[in-house]
Structure 1
Amino acid sequence: MRTNVSLKIRLILTAGICSIVTAAYGQDASAPDGALDQIADVAVLDTIIVSARKFEEPIQHVPFSIDALSSAQLDDAGIEKIEDLSRWIPNFNFSDSGLSFANTMNLRGIGSSSALIAPSVNYYVDGVPVPVRVFDQRFFDVKSIEVLKGPQGTLFGLNSQAGAVVIKTEEATADLSAGLATEIGSYGNREVSGYLNGAISERVTARVSGELHGYDGDIRNFSFSAPNLVSNDDRSVREEYFGALSAKVSAEISDTTDATLSVRYNRNDTRPTTGVWIDDPNLPRNSYNPVPKSTIDTIGSSLEIQHDLDYATLTSLTGLSYYQIDFEADLLDGFIISEQSGFPASAFQTIGLNVRQMDEDNTQFSQEFRLNGDIGTDGQWVAGVSGFYSDFESTTDITSQFIANGAYTGDLNKTNLAAFGEVTIPVGEKLRLIGGARYTYESQDFSGNYVARPSGAVFNEEHDSSFNFVTGRAGVGYDVMPELTVYGTIARGEKPGGYLFFNQFASLGIPLTEYESSSTWTYEAGLRGQPGIEWLHLAGSVFFNDTADEQLFTFNPISGRFDVQNADTESYGVELSVVAEPIENLQFGANVGLLRAEITGGVNTTLKGNDVPYAPNLTAALFAEYRHQIDAGILTGDLFGRVEYTHTGSRQIDPANNRELKAYDLVNLRAGWQKEDLEIYGYVENLFDKSYTTSAYLTGTNSSGQNVFAGIPGKGRAFGVGARVKF
Structure 2
Amino acid sequence: MRKYSRLAGVLLASTVFISMPALAAGTADKHQTSVGTGQSDHEEIVVSARRRAETSQDVPLAISVIGGEHIDNTGTFNVGRLQQLTPTLQFYSSNPRNTAVNIRGIGAPFGLTNDGIEQGVGIYVDDVYYSRVASATFDFLDVAQIEVLRGPQGTLYGKNTSAGAINITTRQPTFDFEGRAEVSIGNLGFKQAKAAVSGPLSDMLAARVALSATSRRGTIYNVTTDNWVNEQDNLGLRGQFLWRPSDALDVTLQGDFSTQNPECCAQIYVRTGATQRAVNRQFASLATAQNYTVPSTNAFDRLTDLDANLNAGNRIGGVNLRIKWDAGLGTLTSVTAWRFWDWRPANDRDFTGLPITTASNNPSRQDQFTQELRFAQSGDKVDFVVGLFGFHQKVRTQGLQEQGPAASKWLLNPSSALSNNPIVLDRLTAENDIRLYNTSAALFGQISWKVTDAFTVQPGFRVNYDQKKGLYDSVVTGTASDGTRQLVQFSGPYANDPWIAAQRGVLAPQRFETKFSDWNFSYDLTLSYKLAADVLAYATYAKSFKSGGINLNGVPANTDGNPLLAAATVKPETVNNYEAGIKVQLWDRKATLNLSAFRTEIGNYQALVSNGQLGVLRGYLANARKVRTQGVEWDLSVRPSERFNAYANGAFTDATYRKFNDAPCPPEMSGGSNSPANCDISGQRLPGVSKWSFSYGAEANTPQTLLGQDGEVYFGVDGSYRSAFSSNPTPSANTWVEGYALTNLRAGFRTAAGFDIYGWVRNAFDVRYFEQLAVPSGNTGLIVGQPGDPRTWGFTLKIEF
Per the normalisation by structure 2, the TM-score is 0.79
2:601 to 535, 546, 563: 546
Distance in 2 of aligned mates of 1:171 and 1:101: 29
Q: 2:230–2:266: 8 Å Cα contact kept in structure 1?
A: no
Question: Any gaps of 5 or more consecutive residues in structure 2?
Answer: 1-39, 272-296, 412-427, 479-485, 489-508, 663-678
1:636 to 700, 706, 710: 710
Distance in 2 of aligned mates of 1:462 and 1:695: 33
Counterpart in the other structure of 1:363: 367
Given residue 619 of structure 1, which amino acid in structure 2 is its aligned partner?
A: S
Secondary structure in structure 1 of the residue aligned to 2:97: helix
Distance in 2 of aligned mates of 1:422 and 1:331: 47
Counterparts in 2 of 1:37-186, with a 5 A limit? 44=41, 46-97=43-94, 99-111=95-107, 112-114=109-111, 115-116=113-114, 117-136=117-136, 137-156=138-157, 158-186=159-187
1:298 matches 2:295: no
* Deviation of 1:182 (Å): 0.7
Counterpart in the other structure of 1:281: 298
* Deviation of 1:572 (Å): 0.8
Distance in 2 of aligned mates of 1:409 and 1:247: 35
Question: Any gaps of 5 or more consecutive residues in structure 1?
Answer: 1-42, 224-231, 335-344
2:590 to 530, 535, 550: 535
Q: 1:188–1:214: 8 Å Cα contact kept in structure 2?
A: yes
Distance change in 2, residues 1:68/1:621 (3 Å)? same
Counterpart in the other structure of 2:213: 212
* Deviation of 1:505 (Å): 5.8
Question: Identity of paired residues, percent?
Answer: 24
* Deviation of 1:157 (Å): 5.3
Given residue 295 of structure 1, which amino acid in structure 2 is its aligned partner?
A: G
* Deviation of 1:139 (Å): 0.7
Distance in 1 of aligned mates of 2:348 and 2:131: 26
Given residue 409 of structure 1, which amino acid in structure 2 is its aligned partner?
A: D
1:248 matches 2:251: no
Instruction: Report the more deviating stretch, 663-672 or 512-521.
Output: 512-521
* Deviation of 1:195 (Å): 1.4
Distance in 2 of aligned mates of 1:473 and 1:297: 37
Distance in 2 of aligned mates of 1:701 and 1:563: 15
Distance in 1 of aligned mates of 2:245 and 2:70: 34
2:470 to 443, 446, 461: 446
Q: 2:463–2:521: 8 Å Cα contact kept in structure 1?
A: yes
* Deviation of 1:47 (Å): 2.0
* Deviation of 1:632 (Å): 4.8
* Deviation of 1:196 (Å): 1.6
Instruction: Report the more deviating stretch, 496-505 or 50-59.
Output: 496-505
1:406 matches 2:433: no
* Deviation of 1:698 (Å): 1.6
Counterparts in 2 of 1:610-689, with a 5 A limit? 610-632=684-706, 634-658=708-732, 659-675=735-751, 676-689=753-766
Distance change in 2, residues 1:328/1:44 (3 Å)? closer
Given residue 430 of structure 1, which amino acid in structure 2 is its aligned partner?
A: A
1:563 to 606, 620, 623: 620
Distance in 2 of aligned mates of 1:519 and 1:328: 37
Secondary structure in structure 2 of the residue aligned to 1:135: helix
* Deviation of 1:241 (Å): 1.2
Secondary structure in structure 1 of the residue aligned to 2:347: strand
Secondary structure in structure 2 of the residue aligned to 1:451: strand
Secondary structure in structure 1 of the residue aligned to 2:595: strand
Q: 1:278–1:711: 8 Å Cα contact kept in structure 2?
A: yes
Distance in 2 of aligned mates of 1:158 and 1:600: 28
1:698 matches 2:781: no
Counterpart in the other structure of 1:17: none
Which digits, 9 at most, give the CA deviation of each residue in 1:87-115, with x for residues without a partner? 21122111122x02211011112122133
Q: 1:693–1:712: 8 Å Cα contact kept in structure 2?
A: yes
Distance in 2 of aligned mates of 1:203 and 1:44: 33
Distance in 2 of aligned mates of 1:159 and 1:654: 27
Q: 1:493–1:519: 8 Å Cα contact kept in structure 2?
A: yes
Counterparts in 2 of 1:224-623, with a 5 A limit? 233-234=226-227, 236-279=228-271, 280-283=297-300, 284-334=302-352, 345=353, 348-349=354-355, 354-376=358-380, 379-401=382-404, 402=407, 405-454=429-478, 455-456=486-487, 459-503=510-554, 508-510=561-563, 513-531=568-586, 533-558=588-613, 561=617, 562-567=619-624, 568-602=626-660, 604=662, 606-623=680-697
Q: 1:566–1:603: 8 Å Cα contact kept in structure 2?
A: no
Which digits, 9 at most, give the CA deviation of each residue in 1:204-226, with x for residues without a partner? 10001111111111111121xxx
Distance in 2 of aligned mates of 1:524 and 1:672: 41
Secondary structure in structure 2 of the residue aligned to 1:151: coil
Distance in 1 of aligned mates of 2:523 and 2:541: 9
Which digits, 9 at most, give the CA deviation of each residue in 1:529-552, with x for residues without a partner? 413532111100111111111111
Given residue 672 of structure 1, which amino acid in structure 2 is its aligned partner?
A: G
Q: 1:685–1:717: 8 Å Cα contact kept in structure 2?
A: yes
Q: 1:180–1:725: 8 Å Cα contact kept in structure 2?
A: yes
Secondary structure in structure 2 of the residue aligned to 1:530: strand
Given residue 568 of structure 2, which amino acid in structure 1 is its aligned partner?
A: T
Instruction: Report the more deviating stretch, 615-624 or 393-402.
Output: 393-402
* Deviation of 1:509 (Å): 4.5
Q: 1:119–1:159: 8 Å Cα contact kept in structure 2?
A: no
Q: 2:205–2:244: 8 Å Cα contact kept in structure 1?
A: yes
Distance change in 2, residues 1:532/1:680 (3 Å)? closer
* Deviation of 1:643 (Å): 1.0
Secondary structure in structure 2 of the residue aligned to 1:445: strand
* Deviation of 1:504 (Å): 6.7
Per the normalisation by structure 1, the TM-score is 0.87
Aligned length: 658
Q: Which structure carries more strand by proportion? A: 1
Counterparts in 2 of 1:194-213, with a 5 A limit? 194-213=195-214
Distance change in 2, residues 1:526/1:255 (3 Å)? closer
Secondary structure in structure 1 of the residue aligned to 2:395: strand
Distance change in 2, residues 1:79/1:552 (3 Å)? same
Distance in 2 of aligned mates of 1:489 and 1:601: 25
Which digits, 9 at most, give the CA deviation of each residue in 1:566-610, with x for residues without a partner? 111111111112110123310010011111111011351612111
Counterpart in the other structure of 1:337: none
Given residue 328 of structure 1, which amino acid in structure 2 is its aligned partner?
A: A
Distance in 2 of aligned mates of 1:713 and 1:555: 24
Question: What is the RMSD of the two structures over their aligned residues, measured on CA atoms?
Answer: 2.1
Distance in 2 of aligned mates of 1:166 and 1:584: 28
* Deviation of 1:686 (Å): 0.4
